[in-house]
Structure 1
């Protein structure tokens, strides 16, 4: 009971509004406004307290510092179902239409506090969100809804609470460790017609919001190779989460929805005294989680909710991030970035991914930091991800073509100050 109460309070405080799809699958494209302004690049850099969320080794604090920020995130997601010339008995056809999801503006907060213990040790406490999934396709023109059970959609929220420690091994090398407490919540509606495919028909849809928790760890290293070149790497472990018991008939492994591991490595090159280029590569191992990776074709051989039950069919994803920052004045930095991620959703998996159209690949970003005083800094960023579309056959009615698509835009602001 105490665990559930703590988890609920923490999630409510940190996620006042439901976050939705982040930009690389359901991972956000970066943590901290300075890094988001460079398309998430900078695992080798310590730009701000939130840098520790990308790489705990980059937690570098001068005295005691605090950072608070919020991102306004606007996704536009929709699906289209094509008309067919012939309907085959036993197939599951969707109404021929194009339907957009409701909910287009979300607020995603972040928070960090750090303290320098001594010349070797910095400690901090970092809170951030991983995006998640959110769709809500209203039952309006067709009251029966997308899957003929009313308004259809899912809502997944994930929160990371991470005490962090960085240690200076030598003048040029730092290492870091950050235990991570993860809280996630999930709800689904309008999926009752999939109950016939489930081993737990009453635990597929419409059971309100369920909460699960788990623990993981993040490790990192940062090293200055020479005066103009540095590199860094970070590894975040997979997280074994409690099952979503209320949705044990939907997700594989009786409601399992673990977090996949990920790692990121990058370099920073000081081109001139005022210009810097950063390049990162990130790998997200979605294949580690059955409920995310199992293909929809499993629905013919194993019931939903079983270990081999159908999932979203997502593939592992590599992301390439390039960022640039210019020290325009002593008080101001200007940033730009671009990233490209491999498509995690195959065209064979479009039916279930109507609920989770995490199809984004390209992201274009800009940002700035401005020192308002010796102890107060303002960080800001903008990003845009153009429309991506994945088209494929409806697995339960193969002569019907489906398409899922999304574009995204957003802006964020944070304030950091020294105490």
Structure 2
């Protein structure tokens, strides 16, 4: 199995702490995927999708380049963060017979930053940085109840890695500040469930439903004593649900759209009155693919979400500046032969600024994210 360090590192965060899309081809279409399975990573988008993907394997790499900065608490106290991270993904899909398909998809998530200095000039404060990495291994079985309707069930086997340092909190003395010592890199495991439906009511239409339960993670040793005390040292992976539609508008043009809701606010760690306080996040994703000829296909997409961070919590989210609200994507596929395909993509999350209000007045966070996508799909 791939190790957690090989999956998602640093600040790979577009929809909160989740990537814009799973699978290079779907990611290049704004992430639209619930009703449009395109490769062997399909189980990460909708477990039922693997029933409509041929026996195949997919390898992909997302190269994340993020820039963020902060004007933090004090006038003139400016922090800057720049990161380049590699995030592999992949999957294998196997048709056992005409009705049953087995697949394993690998995906992940992550968020974080490294400002290279203390957040505030407080004696004993460490470098302001944090890293959350989550690798998800998704064994899945799908059944074709009819030739046009499939049900998929899967597990989410999650491996999590977390590290934080440089956290500064109010001290018992009025007006004082207290640095929290870092607990180092800690890991935890968790298990969740997935389910999905994919229905083709007509030859040119597909409708999909995707459900993912919350993954209840184990305790991150040491962090239950301070930073994550409210949630007993646990950072669960949020539940989500969504619906999608795809339309084969012409022989060469495919359109797709998704509505997704990510339940950050239901995680206990986000209910901490002094913590990140992320709220539930709706996401809209739109994509188009145009097959130029038998070898070349071009793709484009757009996605938009509602920020999960309220402006009054800007100060608390310095170490996780996941504030991007929209993304523009393009992609290109080259089919070498009937079995082999190379996929390229690019995603731009434009420069976004969150200006603090209320208790966070005087603090602002700014972020810009670019993704370079490369993948290979082979059909057996």
TM-score range, shorter chain: over 0.9
Matched with 1:322 is 286
Larger radius of gyration: 1
Deviations 1:159-210 (Å, cap 9, x if unpaired)?
001111111000110111111110111001112556769xxxx995412100
In structure 2, do the counterparts of structure 1 residues 259 and 204 end up closer, same or farther at CA, with 3 Å as the change threshold? farther
Matched with 2:102 is 123
Matched with 1:331 is 295
Whether the 8 Å CA contact 2:12–2:64 is kept in 1: the answer is no
In structure 2, do the counterparts of structure 1 residues 236 and 62 end up closer, same or farther at CA, with 3 Å as the change threshold? closer
CA–CA distance in 1 between the matches of 2:121 and 2:299?
Answer: 44
Deviations 1:291-312 (Å, cap 9, x if unpaired)?
1243xxx3xxxxxxxxxxx220
TM-score by length of 2: 0.92
- 1:52 Cα shift? 1.9
- 1:18 Cα shift? 2.0
| Aligned residue pairs, count | 372
- 1:118 Cα shift? 0.3
Matched with 2:320 is 356
Whether the 8 Å CA contact 1:264–1:281 is kept in 2: the answer is yes
CA–CA distance in 2 between the matches of 1:327 and 1:108?
Answer: 28
Whether the 8 Å CA contact 2:37–2:49 is kept in 1: the answer is yes
- Unaligned stretches of 5+ in structure 1? 1-5, 82-92, 299-309
Deviations 1:369-401 (Å, cap 9, x if unpaired)?
221112211111110011111111473xx6x51
CA–CA distance in 2 between the matches of 1:62 and 1:409?
Answer: 29
Whether the 8 Å CA contact 1:95–1:146 is kept in 2: the answer is no
In structure 2, do the counterparts of structure 1 residues 291 and 77 end up closer, same or farther at CA, with 3 Å as the change threshold? same
Matched with 1:113 is 92
After TM superposition, the structure 1 = structure 2 runs for residues 23-62 of structure 1, keeping only pairs within 5 Å, are 23-60=14-51
Matched with 2:80 is 100
- 1:97 Cα shift? 2.5
In structure 2, do the counterparts of structure 1 residues 120 and 74 end up closer, same or farther at CA, with 3 Å as the change threshold? same
Whether the 8 Å CA contact 2:298–2:333 is kept in 1: the answer is yes
Matched with 2:215 is 239
- Say whether 1:402 aligns with 2:363: yes
Whether the 8 Å CA contact 2:326–2:349 is kept in 1: the answer is yes
- Say whether 1:18 aligns with 2:9: yes
Deviations 1:95-146 (Å, cap 9, x if unpaired)?
63221114x210000121111100001111111112x11211122xxxx543
In structure 2, do the counterparts of structure 1 residues 63 and 47 end up closer, same or farther at CA, with 3 Å as the change threshold? closer
Matched with 1:312 is 276
In structure 2, do the counterparts of structure 1 residues 195 and 214 end up closer, same or farther at CA, with 3 Å as the change threshold? farther
In structure 2, do the counterparts of structure 1 residues 77 and 138 end up closer, same or farther at CA, with 3 Å as the change threshold? same
Select the structure that is richer in strand.
2
Matched with 1:250 is 227
Say which SS state the counterpart of residue 3 (structure 2) adopts.
helix
Say which SS state the counterpart of residue 34 (structure 2) adopts.
coil
Say which SS state the counterpart of residue 372 (structure 1) adopts.
strand
- 1:51 Cα shift? 1.9
Matched with 1:368 is 332
- 1:417 Cα shift? 1.5
Matched with 1:230 is 206
- 1:334 Cα shift? 1.0
CA–CA distance in 2 between the matches of 1:394 and 1:137?
Answer: 24
- Say whether 1:287 aligns with 2:258: no
TM-score by length of 1: 0.84
- Unaligned stretches of 5+ in structure 2? none
- 1:313 Cα shift? 1.5
